[in-house]
Structure formats: structure tokens, C-alpha cells
Amino acid sequence: MNNIRPYERNVYYYETDKMGVVHHSNYIRIFEETRIHFLNEAGMPFEQIEAMGVYMPVLSVECRYKRPLSFDEPFAVYPKIVKFNGTTLHIEYKLISRKTGEICVEGSSSHCFTDLELKPLRTKLHYPDIYKVFSEYNGYEITE
């Protein structure tokens, strides 16, 4: 198993609102960026998954705001696969300010695996390489 690093960057100006803090909708985009980073780190990038004829549509997303981030503030996001059964995937996210060490946002997203016509797939039967990656990281805690 690879040692996966948290997703890190600074807040972009366009992500902030009139109050100078990250607009709430942008945290969902950051979750998406984190998911792409996680897949790259795990050796199964989105491009590879889609090239196999598999999509991973979002079923639900949730976000709990604790403290806003501001322009250029550095942050890290720690994703964790908390449930994977071969057909659905549930990921939790913890976004932490690198400036203060505070948890700013916690959230989660749920996904399913489908073919290109959006019909559900069982990855264990039809895509064992995909199944293996998510099974290996099920419950894996990312640390520094």
C-alpha cells in the first residue's frame, strides 16, 4: 500500500466571496480535487478508470462548516474511505488550516460505479483492479 499524502494547496482568490472567505460551495469542489488527488496517489487515476468504461457519479455530498478559510490560506484535506462494497463508495473529508491547525470543514461524499450508460456495476466481478485499489484503502487513515 502506498503512503498517500493529504491534498494540499492555498485558497485561490476566485474562491472567496465579498466577506473575504471561501464561499461555501467551493468546499464541494475541493472535495472533488481531493478525490482526484487520492486516486492518483493510489495508482488508479480517474482517466484510467474512465478508460476502462467506468464512471463514478456522485450520489450525495455533505459539508459541515466549522471555520472559514480566507484568501491564500494554506490547507490540507485528509480523505478516508469509510465504506466500500464494490458497488458504492463513501469517502469522508477533513479540511485543516495549515496556518492554525484548526479543522475548518468536515464532509463526505457517496458514489456508485456505473458503466458508460450509467447502469450500476459490481467492480469485484467485472473490474478487479478497481476493486483491489478501493478495498486496500478501505478504512486507511492518512497521516503526515
User: For the residues of 84-134, what is the DSSP string, one character each?
Assistant: E-SSEEEEEEEEEETTT--EEEEEEEEEE-B-TT--B--HHHH-HHHHHHH
Q: What are phi and psi of 29, to 5 degrees?
A: -65, -40
Catalytic residue (one of 17, 72, 115, 129): 17
Q: Are 54 and 44 in contact (CB under 8 A)?
A: no
- To the query of whether residue 17 is one of the catalytic residues in this protein, the response is yes
Q: Would you name the residues annotated as active-site residues?
A: 17
